[in-house]
């Protein structure tokens, strides 16, 4: 099978029929063999009934329904598990992503050998309350990940089959699939300018809470990608530095006291100095961080996935 198209959706019953017909038209024109996997993320409208009707009309359309709303990452992860195509395309169900982009995305994966091709909605029709945070978020992600994409959160992306079978998407990590893929060894990541349609039906699912969660997830994935296999390198180093600084400060206070006593000079109590409490707190925090790294290393060494490396080829 040439292409698997994964469409996560939540309350998009008005757009599904039009979207399915549009995709089918593009697939027939380009003579692609394909499947459409619609993942209903716990919709409370008529979305699932529409999917059932569409699947009876077109056997290429498949559906997965969640009992409740788990989020886009969960929907994509389940879709990835079910996908069988050589190239996997993800797109949103709100008609803001154009299926006409699919042939070129497919070509870039197959002919230019990209692992991932991410869409870039250079000209957007979103409200300013969404576009400004999105630009800032993309700039930050570029700086932290080193991946030079303009639009990490674009729902229209193409993947090699191997990529989606080697990664796991959870939480709100769908925004960082290129980062997760790069961490897994798929470093050839490209970008294509794609058209962006104004929303035709329904309302946007974007909210400021998603913006905050996105940054927390970025910090999480950056830390895990760099120190997930060696937590002692982070906690141990930080703990050692903080402990040494606290120890030096405490030693300096003690030395000043001893020098004053040696010269029979009345010196203030060490405990009267704020630096005494700062140094004690620093040493305690340093020891705690060091122990946190040590415990994390022990847990990592006893984990069943401590050596879960991705092997690309093997000769036996």
pLDDT in tens, 155-176: 899 999 999 999 888 777 888 8
pLDDT for the residue numbered 28: 95
Torsion (CA) 12, 15, 20, 21 in degrees, nearest 10: 170
CA-wise closest residue to 78 among 64, 90, 68, 92: 64
Average pLDDT over residues 290-295: 87
The answer on 54 and 28 residing in a single domain is yes
Strands (E), the chain: 3-9, 34-40, 61-65, 87-90, 116-120, 157-160, 189-193
Residue that is written with structure tokens 């198209």 in the block: 5
The domain that holds 77 is classified in CATH as 3.90.550.10
pLDDT for the residue numbered 165: 92
What does the chain come to in residues? 316
Domain containing 47 equals: 3-227
pLDDT exceeds 60 at position 104: yes
pLDDT exceeds 50 at position 52: yes
Collapsing DSSP to helix, strand or coil, 252 comes out as helix
The answer on 155 and 32 residing in a single domain is yes
Domain end point (choices 169, 201, 227) = 227
pLDDT for the residue numbered 31: 95
Of the pLDDT bands very low, low, confident and very high (cuts 50, 70, 90), residue 153 is: confident
The answer on 141 and 56 residing in a single domain is yes
- What pTM does this model have? 0.73
Side-chain-facing half-sphere of 217: CA atoms under 13 Å: 19
pLDDT exceeds 50 at position 315: no
The answer on 149 and 94 residing in a single domain is yes
CA-wise closest residue to 151 among 172, 130, 182: 130
The answer on 173 and 24 residing in a single domain is yes
CA-wise closest residue to 92 among 200, 218, 209, 211: 200
pLDDT for the residue numbered 313: 47
Question: What values do phi and psi take at 298, rounded to 5?
Answer: -65, -40
């Amino acid at each position: 099978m040439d292409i698997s198209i994964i469409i996560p959706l939540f309350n998009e019953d008005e757009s599904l029929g039009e979207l399915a017909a549009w995709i089918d038209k593009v697939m027939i024109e380009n003579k692609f063999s394909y499947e459409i996997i619609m993942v209903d993320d716990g919709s409370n409208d008529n979305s699932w009934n529409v999917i059932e009707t569409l699947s009876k009309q077109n056997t290429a359309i498949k559906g997965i329904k969640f009992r409740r709303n788990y989020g886009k990452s969960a929907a994509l992860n389940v879709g990835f598990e079910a996908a069988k195509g050589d190239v996997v395309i993800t797109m949103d169900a709100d008609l803001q992503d154009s299926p006409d982009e699919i042939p070129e995305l497919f070509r870039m994966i197959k002919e230019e050998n990209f692992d991932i091709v991410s869409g870039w909605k250079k000209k957007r029709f979103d409200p300013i309350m969404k576009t400004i945070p999105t630009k800032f978020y993309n700039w930050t992600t570029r700086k932290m990940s080193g991946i030079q994409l303009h639009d990490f959160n674009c729902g229209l992306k193409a993947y090699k089959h191997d990529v989606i079978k080697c990664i796991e998407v959870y939480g709100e990590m769908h925004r960082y699939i290129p980062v997760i893929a790069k961490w897994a060894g798929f470093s050839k990541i490209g970008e294509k300018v794609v058209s962006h349609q104004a929303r035709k039906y329904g309302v946007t699912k974007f909210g400021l809470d998603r913006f905050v969660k996105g940054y927390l997830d970025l910090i999480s994935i950056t830390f895990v990608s760099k120190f997930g296999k060696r937590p002692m390198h982070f906690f141990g180093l930080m703990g050692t530095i903080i402990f040494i600084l606290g120890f030096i400060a405490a030693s300096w206070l003690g030395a000043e006291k001893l020098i004053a006593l040696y010269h029979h000079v009345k010196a203030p109590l060490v405990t009267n100095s704020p630096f005494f409490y700062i140094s004690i707190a620093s040493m305690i925090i340093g020891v705690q961080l060091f122990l946190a790294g040590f415990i994390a290393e022990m847990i990592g060494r006893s984990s069943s996935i401590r050596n879960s490396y991705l092997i690309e080829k093997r000769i036996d």
